[in-house]
Structure 1
């Protein structure tokens, strides 16, 4: 079976489905999904755009400074500019065929009024889907932040280092009901979807056409990714959730693929004992070789073997059960002025892609766009965004409040090492690894998460927001426009590697 070459010249013909170890289209041809996650957009993350801590903390501080009218204006413009038709067209030009769309539940319902769905959130989601569909790109819908937090990290937007989602059935029921609403909107063949008419409404998408004869692009949904990087301490609530989720969603939408992630940040499938039909099992494959403060990749035989071993350990369940594999996140980070280090990280990425290509593993690199750390595109230092926030970004880096790629200095070690040492002196050693997720996180990691990535970050968010004080609507528009495609820089070395891999797949 040959892989389908996905491009704007090769139209998508049908809903995808699982066939053995492959994802196939309506003609039975294998489709290998290759793309990137649209992180930082409908689910904001601190290192991607520059705030601290969790998104809801950032937004709360911004609302206090801007007031409701300017707050709504700024974030509406941010959502509009961050991913446009130009982004989708560029993405497709690289030969990539799938965009993973992470979103936060808060776009669709309020904690004060759960179950009452916000049309504005669906409009924002549909706008992305329309851009992707027009460029002939599949999308995977990814619920990246859920009520209570599905894991202990900042990107679940709970503001806590406890995953309360797994302790409260009310939270789980809210998420399933939200997915039922999503499934009702996107069920059916993509060419006759119930939302097709919505996607081309003139009042929502200005400039797409006249009232008669609008150009409509049917949504090309590859499937549903119900929860990102779950971390269930008991290792059983996740499996029960997936079983309930699949039953309820299948009653509404029997067709779309379910992309189900392993436990403990999509790396642990040891408690999985059954395969849900028409499901792709998803893992994440970050390597420490690609981050500051760790051994750097130089291409030794031992390093290559370690990469392969780590990958095969994560996909053992899929191999045994003969189901498709989707690597939903991976990728190194990059240094701003150190091309020697970057060359090592590009080599690491190339080696990982070679491993995935051996068995047609679908993948979604993290991530598409940011302010200069990891994205395929990034906001340049000359942008209005950097010009305004550079002093704060430098302070944030110096204090080491973001975990993602943090490389502690002697100054930050001098602050936090005494705290960690105090814990070690007070807590008997046999209890150091009692708190989940362990050993993935040791006691020092839990301290960092609670003290600086959560509490200190919450306070620092108010400082960041203060930079926006007194800004006019025009100035806010310019700041949001920093994230427009035409205002961003393409990370050409990274994108060339991705394009080369996508081209190889298309020809296979």
Structure 2
């Protein structure tokens, strides 16, 4: 990843340098007009952004914790291992490291124009049960200071910032993790004091940021999911009235408008943001409807409900949260959205895992911690090991320690608008060379590679699929697994192929050998050079179980100097592939 990092730093420096030239230009507030969002010049704005999930509010899955994933539960587990003082130190380090100026500069350099900040209320105010005086609101400096810093980074890079109340006082739904809800205490909907504090928090935020045009909007409550009419409809998917939700949103709007008439207000329906039954028409002239979209098809039918709502009420819509899928799904979704002039905010920027622009790397000590927390072992790590794991995790969260997934960024920014492919690695051929099989070109399915199982559409199909089954290294449909010393391509199927852009420095005849292996007889592959078959249906030998390899002679081919494109085509699948090796004769 070192070359990727150096390249990124160069891009960032160039971007920031030119950014200073235009940063002095005053920008006005975004406004709505019919179904569009406009800037101060009256030009259409298509928000392309990412949410900073996991920063102010941790969700268990982002840290690969399987159960009891609310942040307060995670904190309790940590405290049992290392004590209160070190737990506080861990969270201070986490908040300091997770999102920094470098993250925002990278987003700008990559081509995003906006940031969504998921806020936890407890960084801004005390829980109602901890207020010294009932009914009063104590304002905390931590959350506001973090927001001020983020806003400054966004202003310096000309990125719009959307404030999103992700965890409301008491918690806004029965999906506990997303709002860090403690279900032993009254929810947002069970206690008026929680709703009053939510209203007061938004008024305080609006007073502080009323004159900040780089704040694009206030996303007032993330993903409400509550059955008001039917307790068995826990997440409000079938709710017809949504009366309490609308009442609270109207009250928040009134409080904001008492002090701030500048900013767009974004509302979300029940059922994780999509159920607007009984909530419309809009009650404010500068309002946007948000919807969230996960694991369904990327076609007009999948967003028909929100398109109809937009047209009926002549109000802009914005996909406030989506992601957690493969690059193929990302590209499809963005193409669909932008065809309909719908902006978007992906989720999240970083976590432990490959399907985001940045990956927080794990450590051996943290894996021990996970094995204990997830019930894989009953052996509790000692305090020293646990503390080392937590320190490593907090350090790994910082941008310069993250793994940059260029393929994910490319799938979101370039591939929706281009079928061209670009090299993943240099792949220089100068006499003798080895190319990692997983370093096939960057680009869309059918252009840089072809894979049969590319994305997770489980909401539409009822079947769970994952794209890259090995869930490592890259986020395309190609299955990649970790070996002892490297990663390798696995689970190949008939008709699939991988393309590699080569830079040949020494022309000549080359012997091509694959480091490969199959667990069954009959596996075959072919090689195509610049579209022409140069090695036809050669067998891939059996090599026992995964992790065992044999050299497979693929053929002798002539490589001209310069850029060449080599494709490995799977004639009969079932084999795994570690590398392609070139030897000049």
Give TM-score, length-normalised by structure 2.
0.60
Q: Measured at CA, do residues 144 and 63 of structure 1 come closer, stay the same or move farther in structure 2, by a change above 3 Å?
A: same
Alignment RMSD, CA only?
Answer: 2.9
Q: Measured at CA, do residues 167 and 224 of structure 1 come closer, stay the same or move farther in structure 2, by a change above 3 Å?
A: same
Q: Measured at CA, do residues 395 and 186 of structure 1 come closer, stay the same or move farther in structure 2, by a change above 3 Å?
A: same
Which residue among 267, 270, 289 is the counterpart of 1:263? 270
Distance 2:264 2:172 in 1: 21
Q: Does 1:121 align with 2:143?
A: yes
Kindly indicate whether the alpha-carbon contact (under 8 Å) linking 1:74 and 1:476 is maintained by their aligned counterparts in 2: yes
Secondary structure in 2 matching 1:283: strand
Q: Cα deviations across residues 373-401 of structure 1 (Å, max 9, x unaligned)?
A: 53211023xxxx422121343566787xx
| Aligned twin of 2:365 | 388
Q: Cα deviations across residues 28-56 of structure 1 (Å, max 9, x unaligned)?
A: 11111111110001011111123442101
Kindly indicate whether the alpha-carbon contact (under 8 Å) linking 1:101 and 1:139 is maintained by their aligned counterparts in 2: yes
Q: Measured at CA, do residues 170 and 50 of structure 1 come closer, stay the same or move farther in structure 2, by a change above 3 Å?
A: same
Distance 1:375 1:326 in 2: 20
| Aligned twin of 2:188 | 165
Larger radius of gyration: 2
Distance 1:475 1:351 in 2: 38
| Structure 1 residue ranges (4+ consecutive) displaced by more than 6 angstroms after TM superposition | 395-399, 471-475, 501-504
Q: Does 1:254 align with 2:261?
A: yes
Kindly indicate whether the alpha-carbon contact (under 8 Å) linking 2:363 and 2:392 is maintained by their aligned counterparts in 1: no
Q: Cα deviations across residues 464-489 of structure 1 (Å, max 9, x unaligned)?
A: 9x657236988855431111111111
Distance 1:360 1:10 in 2: 26
Q: What are structure 2's unaligned runs of at least 5 residues?
A: 1-15, 229-241, 419-585
Q: Measured at CA, do residues 320 and 241 of structure 1 come closer, stay the same or move farther in structure 2, by a change above 3 Å?
A: same
| Aligned twin of 1:83 | 99
Q: Cα deviations across residues 176-232 of structure 1 (Å, max 9, x unaligned)?
A: 101111111101244xxxxxxxxxxxxxxxxxxxxxxxxxxxxx2111111100124
Kindly indicate whether the alpha-carbon contact (under 8 Å) linking 2:369 and 2:389 is maintained by their aligned counterparts in 1: no
Q: Measured at CA, do residues 80 and 262 of structure 1 come closer, stay the same or move farther in structure 2, by a change above 3 Å?
A: same
Q: Does 1:49 align with 2:63?
A: yes
1:347-358 pair list within 5 angstroms: 347-358=328-339
Q: Cα deviations across residues 125-169 of structure 1 (Å, max 9, x unaligned)?
A: 222222222222111111101122111111111133998212322
Q: Cα deviations across residues 297-343 of structure 1 (Å, max 9, x unaligned)?
A: xxxxxx55xx421211244322211211110111233xxxxxxxxxx
User: How many residues align structurally?
Assistant: 377
Distance 2:185 2:92 in 1: 30
Distance 2:390 2:295 in 1: 37
Q: Measured at CA, do residues 20 and 81 of structure 1 come closer, stay the same or move farther in structure 2, by a change above 3 Å?
A: same
Secondary structure in 2 matching 1:143: strand
Q: Does 1:241 align with 2:248?
A: yes
| Aligned twin of 2:411 | 497
Secondary structure in 2 matching 1:251: helix
Distance 1:501 1:279 in 2: 31
Secondary structure in 1 matching 2:275: coil
Q: Does 1:223 align with 2:217?
A: yes
Secondary structure in 2 matching 1:330: strand
Kindly indicate whether the alpha-carbon contact (under 8 Å) linking 1:140 and 1:224 is maintained by their aligned counterparts in 2: yes
Secondary structure in 1 matching 2:363: helix
Kindly indicate whether the alpha-carbon contact (under 8 Å) linking 1:283 and 1:315 is maintained by their aligned counterparts in 2: no
Which residue among 458, 462, 479 is the counterpart of 2:393? 479
Q: Measured at CA, do residues 475 and 268 of structure 1 come closer, stay the same or move farther in structure 2, by a change above 3 Å?
A: closer
Higher relative contact order (CA 8 A, sep 6+): 1
| Aligned twin of 1:62 | 78
Q: Measured at CA, do residues 172 and 255 of structure 1 come closer, stay the same or move farther in structure 2, by a change above 3 Å?
A: same
Q: Does 1:321 align with 2:335?
A: no
Q: Does 1:24 align with 2:16?
A: no
Kindly indicate whether the alpha-carbon contact (under 8 Å) linking 1:163 and 1:231 is maintained by their aligned counterparts in 2: no
Distance 2:288 2:339 in 1: 18
Kindly indicate whether the alpha-carbon contact (under 8 Å) linking 1:73 and 1:473 is maintained by their aligned counterparts in 2: no
Kindly indicate whether the alpha-carbon contact (under 8 Å) linking 1:95 and 1:503 is maintained by their aligned counterparts in 2: no
Higher strand fraction (1 or 2): 2
Which residue among 32, 37, 40 is the counterpart of 2:51? 37
Q: Measured at CA, do residues 124 and 324 of structure 1 come closer, stay the same or move farther in structure 2, by a change above 3 Å?
A: same
Distance 1:21 1:135 in 2: 27
Q: Measured at CA, do residues 488 and 308 of structure 1 come closer, stay the same or move farther in structure 2, by a change above 3 Å?
A: same
Q: Measured at CA, do residues 226 and 46 of structure 1 come closer, stay the same or move farther in structure 2, by a change above 3 Å?
A: same
Which residue among 290, 302, 306 is the counterpart of 1:310? 302
Secondary structure in 2 matching 1:90: helix
Kindly indicate whether the alpha-carbon contact (under 8 Å) linking 2:27 and 2:40 is maintained by their aligned counterparts in 1: yes
Distance 1:279 1:271 in 2: 17
Give TM-score, length-normalised by structure 1.
0.68
| Aligned twin of 1:409 | none
Distance 2:79 2:142 in 1: 18
1:71: how far off? 2.5
Distance 1:480 1:498 in 2: 27
Secondary structure in 2 matching 1:39: coil
Q: Does 1:72 align with 2:79?
A: no
Secondary structure in 2 matching 1:470: helix
Q: What are structure 1's unaligned runs of at least 5 residues?
A: 1-5, 191-219, 289-302, 334-344, 400-459
1:62: how far off? 2.4
1:287-302 pair list within 5 angstroms: 287-288=295-296
Secondary structure in 1 matching 2:259: coil
Q: Cα deviations across residues 65-95 of structure 1 (Å, max 9, x unaligned)?
A: 4344323322111111111111111101111
Secondary structure in 2 matching 1:326: strand
Task: State which drifts further: 161-170 or 69-78.
Answer: 161-170
